[in-house]
Amino acid sequence: MEVLVALVILAIPLAAIIHAVSQAIDTTAALRDRNIAMWVAQDRLTMHRIERDWPSLKTTAGTSEMAGRSWRWQEKAISTSVAQLRRVEIEIRDENGPDMLAKLVGFLRDPQARP
C-alpha cells in the first residue's frame, strides 16, 4: 500500500513536468515558424528594393522556399499620399496552414522619381 501511495505522489508532479515540457516544445516550434516566416517577408521586401521594383496597385501571391519548407506569401501594393511611395503589405503563411504567421509593412520608392 505504501508503494502505491508513493507512486501516486510521484506521478502527479511527473505528469505536470511532462505537460510543461510539452508546452515548451510547442512554443519553441511556433516561435521558430514565426521567425522563419518573418525572414521570408523580409526577403520579399528586400528583393523589391534590390530589383528597384515599382509594383502595380494590386495583390499578388506566390510561394517561397526557406529552411527546407514552402511558405505562401501575399503582397498588396497600396498607394500613399506621397506619389513617389508605395506601401507594400506582405503576409506569410505556412504552405499547409490557414494562419498568418508574419506580416511586414514596408515602403518602396519609385525608381524613376528624382531624389
Phi, psi of 89, rounded to the nearest 5 degrees: -105, 125
Helix (H) or strand (E) run with residue 28 in it: helix 2-50
Q: What is the pLDDT of residue 111?
A: 92
- For residue range 88-112, what is the model confidence (pLDDT) as tens digits? 999 999 998 899 999 999 999 999 9
- For residue range 28-74, what is the model confidence (pLDDT) as tens digits? 999 999 999 999 999 999 999 999 999 999 999 999 999 999 999 99
The larger pLDDT score, comparing residue 103 to residue 16, is at: 103
Q: All domains of the chain, ordered by start, with CATH? A: 2-109 (3.30.1300.30)
- Other CB atoms closer than 10 Å to residue 15's CB: what's the count? 10
Whether residue 113 is predicted with pLDDT greater than 90 in this model: the reply is: no
Q: What is the pLDDT of residue 79?
A: 96
Residue by residue, DSSP assigns 29-93 as HHHHHHHHHHHHHHHHHHHHHHTT----SSEEEEEEEETTEEEEEEEEEEE-SSTTEEEEEEEEE
Confidence of residue 2 (pLDDT cuts 50, 70, 90): confident
Q: What is the pLDDT of residue 38?
A: 98
Helix (H) or strand (E) run with residue 18 in it: helix 2-50
Q: What is the pTM of this model?
A: 0.81
CA-to-CA distance for 20 and 99, rounded, in angstroms? 24
Q: What is the pLDDT of residue 85?
A: 95
CA-to-CA distance for 33 and 27, rounded, in angstroms? 10
